[in-house]
Amino acid sequence: KEYNVAILGATGAVGTRLIQQLEQSSIPVKQVKLLASPRSAGTVLQFKGQDVTVEATTPESFDDVDIVLASAGGAASKQFLPEAVKRGAVAVDNTSAFRMDPEVPLVVPEVNESAIEQHKGIIANPNCSTIQMVVALKPILDAAGLKQIIVSTYQAGSGAGQMAIKELDHEAQQHLNGEEMTADIFPVKSEAHHYPLAFNLLPQIDVFEPDGSTHEEWKMVHETKKIMLGDMNDPKIKVNATCVRVPVVIGHGESVYFEVEDNSNLDAHKIQQLIKNGKGLVLEDNPAEQLYPQPINAEGHTDTYVGRVRADPENPGAYNLWVVADNLLKGAAANTVEIAEKLVEHDLVRVPADYYGKK
C-alpha cells in the first residue's frame, strides 16, 4: 500500500525538515501535498527530486489524503486537522493544540509507542524540550523508576520558527556592527515586550501561567507525566522545569537532575551503560577526553546525545546528566515522521468510527 501524505506548514523551519525526514522514511509515499498559508502558495519546493508547488490550505486540501504531518502553529492545527480527520486522514500534529486532550495520544516512539493504538485520527508530537528529556530518561525509568526530575533547559532560537532564526542572525550582525539590537519576536511574538536574544539569555519561553511559571515549563511537567505515566497530572513523578532561550540557532541543551525510586543496583557507570544501550540515544561522556554533547554536533542528526553523567555525592539516588538534541529533528520533524512510520508499520493509518471531533 502507498499513502498520500500532506505536510501542513511545509515552508516553515520544521516543515522543511518534515519534507526531508519523509524523503528518508520507510513510508511508501504515493503523492505528497505541500500546504502552507496563502502567503507562500505557488512556491516550488522539492520532494525526492521532483518539483512540488505549495498550495494554500483549505479543508478540501485533505480530500484523498491518508496521512497529515502538521507544523503550522496551533491555530492552523485546530482549524484544519479535524477537517482532515473527517475526510479520513490520520494526522500527526507537532503543535500544542491537542497534546493535553485525553482523546489524543502524545507519543515518543522510544518511550510509549503503544499509545498510538488508541488514536482517533490525531496523534500529538510533544514539545521539543520534553522529547529529548524523556528519551534520555526512559532507560532509567525502566531500570530503577523515577521519583523526581528537575530540569533547566538551554533552548535554541529556531524553536520559535524561521523568522526567529532570521531575527537572531540580524541581532548578531547589528551587535557586531556596533548598532543597537532590535527585537520583534523573542521571547514570544504575541507578548507586549520584545528583547534581543543575541549575546543574551531569555528566561521566558511561551506565555506566563498564573503561578509564575511559563507555559513551556508547564508543558515539560505535564507532557512528561502523560508520556511516561499515561496521565498528565499523575503525581508519581515530580517534575520541575526552568526553560531558558539561548542564542544558539539549532540544538537544545538540558541540565537534568533526577532521583530514582530504587538505587540499590545503580551508579553513574550503570546509568552510562543504560544510556549507551537505550533506544535513540548516543552516550558522549568522557571527561578525560573532554567529550560531551554540544548543539553544533547534534545539528542534522536524529539521535539524542547524553553526557556529563554523574551521581550527586550529597544525595544518594540522585544523578545529573546533560542532554542535547536537534530541536527541529528529534524535537519535531524526526519524531513526527517516526510516529507516522509506526502508524504504517502497525496498519493504523485509518480513522475509527468514533473519530476525533465526531459529534
Using CB under 6 A, list all residues that contact ligand A2P.
9-15, 36-37, 39-40, 57, 72-73, 76, 161-163
> Least distance (Å) from ligand A2P to the CB of residue 235?
34
> Least distance (Å) from ligand A2P to the CB of residue 328?
9
Which of 119, 222, 243, 252 is flagged as catalytic?
Answer: 252
Q: Which residue is nearest to ligand A2P (CB)?
A: 12
Nearer to ligand A2P, 68 or 344 (CB): 68
Which of 119, 128, 222, 243 is flagged as catalytic?
Answer: 128
Nearer to ligand A2P, 139 or 161 (CB): 161
Task: Based on the residue annotation, tell me whether 243 is a catalytic residue of this protein.
Answer: no
Q: Residues 240, 241, 242, 248: what is their CA dihedral angle, to the nearest 10 degrees?
A: 160
Task: Based on the residue annotation, tell me whether 170 is a catalytic residue of this protein.
Answer: no
> Least distance (Å) from ligand A2P to the CB of residue 13?
4
> Least distance (Å) from ligand A2P to the CB of residue 196?
19
> Least distance (Å) from ligand A2P to the CB of residue 22?
15
Nearer to ligand A2P, 73 or 126 (CB): 73
Q: How many CA atoms lie within 13 A of 35 on its CB side?
A: 26
Angle (CA) 269-154-313 rounded to 5° is 35
> Least distance (Å) from ligand A2P to the CB of residue 292?
29
Nearer to ligand A2P, 43 or 320 (CB): 43
Nearer to ligand A2P, 36 or 135 (CB): 36
Q: Specify whether the CB–CB gap between 233 and 204 falls below 8 A.
A: no
Nearer to ligand A2P, 166 or 358 (CB): 166
Q: Specify whether the CB–CB gap between 25 and 341 falls below 8 A.
A: yes
Output the 3-class SS for the chain: CCEEEEEECCCCHHHHHHHHHHHHCCCCEEEEEEEECHHHCCCEEEECCEEEECEECCHHHHCCCCEEEECCCHHHHHHHHHHHHHCCCEEEECCCCCCCCCCCCECCHHHHHHHHHHCCCEEECCCHHHHHHHHHHHHHHHHHCEEEEEEEEEECHHHHCHHHHHHHHHHHHHHHCCCCCCCCCCCCCCCCCCCCCCCCCECCCCCECCCCCEHHHHHHHHHHHHHHHCCCCCCCCEEEEEEEECCCCCCEEEEEEEEECCCCCCCHHHHHHHHHHCCCEEECCEHHHCECCCHHHHCCCCCEEEEEEEECCCCCCEEEEEEEECCCHHHHHHHHHHHHHHHHHCCCCCCCCCCCCCC
> Least distance (Å) from ligand A2P to the CB of residue 160?
8
Nearer to ligand A2P, 19 or 298 (CB): 19
Query: Catalytic amino acids?
Result: 128, 252
